[in-house]
Amino acid sequence: MNVLIIEDDTTLNQNISEALQAEGIIVTSIYDGLLAERTLKRNTFDCVVMDINLPGKNGFDLCSDFRQFNTNTPVIMLTAFGELDDKIQGFNCGADDYLTKPFYMRELLLRIHSLVKRANTKDVQNAIITADDIVIDTKTKSVTRQGEAITLTPREYQILLRLIENKGELVSKKELIQEIWGNILEANTNTIEVYINFLRNKIDKPFRKQNIKTKVGYGYYFE
């Protein structure tokens, strides 16, 4: 496994690097947002761990630009802040996970392994899935509606696929958290609600559709 660490705190960067290397993970350490941007364009990684407050280019902008050409590599954001607005902005920029400092190295390792495992899971079902006028290619993880390409983050894609594969049956919030994030993420119902809102803004509203439905107090289904 090859992990890129983007953290300007030299001590924390070194501590993370040592913890990952002790697990046999190949680590590349960077301390600047602009250098990280060039590195991400030239190289491929299994996972990216980035701080939000970076010199040169902050983590929000870095992640957002990274998602313009890479939507598959998991990104974990590190920050000293724990406010919901910061998490929402991070997820909206394409981050898959969010870890607030200080944190346990073991927890970071668990989250990296969990995200990489999910990213590497191959779809063994039909390559093309259709629902209404939505077409999902599970091999390329691409989504179109009415022939128009829709850019989704990895988590948005997983939630949409889960809802569509469930063929109109209700999927609870807890099920979505368990299946997509696993037990180790501090995901809660607010996280799911944020992602559902993102999906509706990309999948439904631009096309004047209302396929993603909510059953208050239970979960969601695709109609």
Domain 2-120, classified CATH 3.30.2270.10, yes or no? no
For the whole prediction, is pTM greater than 0.95?
Answer: no
Domain ranges of the chain: 2-120, 128-222
pLDDT tens string, the chain, 223 residues long: the values are: 899 999 999 999 999 999 999 999 999 999 999 999 999 999 989 999 999 989 999 999 999 999 888 888 899 998 876 666 667 777 788 888 888 888 899 999 999 998 888 777 644 455 788 888 999 988 778 899 998 999 988 888 889 988 998 878 898 888 887 777 665 455 566 778 888 999 999 999 999 999 999 988 888 999 8
Spatial neighbors of 81 by CB under 8 A, at least 6 apart, are 52, 100
Same fold, 2-120 and 128-222: no
Neighbours of 19 (CB within 10 A): 16
Structural fold of domain 128-222: Arc Repressor Mutant, subunit A (1.10.10)
* CA dist., res. 174 & res. 155, Å (int): 15
